[in-house]
Amino acid sequence: YPWPDPEVLKYDNDFLDDLCVNIKEKLSSIPKTEQFSKDNSGHIALLITEIISLCAPIQLSEIESALNSLGINISTKIINRSIYLLQKVGFIDVLSYSSNKYYFPLKERKWVKFGKTKDNKLIDNQQLKMKVRQSFVTLTDPLSKRRITALRQIIAKKEMAEEIN
């Protein structure tokens, strides 16, 4: 294929059609699902996205704790790098409130399909999300109040973004 050239304003349609066919063939050969690997940085990034989706608003230390509880011990530097990339591709965003940073998803989508628990029960993402929300909504301590206020601000921010689009 001819490489893009700023001097060339138009390419032959045969080249473009052939390129499109090849891309579609490559995409159709890629598996739709893949076994999770904690050594795959892309898998880790999507797991972080799923944790943020389930637990938003969530802080960095809580993301680390969630990963550790899943047996994934990675450095804060790697988590921060994943978060930076996830923000750049528009999967998540951050809200600064008081001295805290809260991460939240921009797209409501299931990124990771969890298997079963040790008791052989299916993990229900929506039920898990509700349990997390209930864990701080009913509390009256200052940290929970901040998180509730952050959640309200996130909801308002998302609603404003939807109105613009």
pLDDT at 29: 86
pLDDT at position 95 over 90 = yes
**pTM for this structure?**
0.72
pLDDT at 12: 78
- The CA-to-CA distance between both ends of the chain, in Å, stands at 37
pLDDT at position 105 over 90 = yes
Of 96, 108, 19, 33, the residue nearest 60 (C-alpha): 96
Indicate the pLDDT class of residue 82, thresholds 50, 70 and 90.
Answer: very high
pLDDT at 67: 92
Per the prediction, the chain carries an average pLDDT of 85
pLDDT tens per residue, range 28-77: 888 877 888 899 999 999 999 999 998 889 999 999 999 998 889 999 99
Give the length of the chain.
Answer: 165
Counting residues of the chain whose pLDDT is more than 70, the rounded percentage is 94
Set out the domains of the chain in order of their start, with CATH numbers: 35-164 (1.10.10.10)
pLDDT at position 25 over 80 = yes
Average pLDDT over residues 88-103: 93
- Are the C-beta atoms of residues 95 and 101 closer than 8 Å to each other? yes
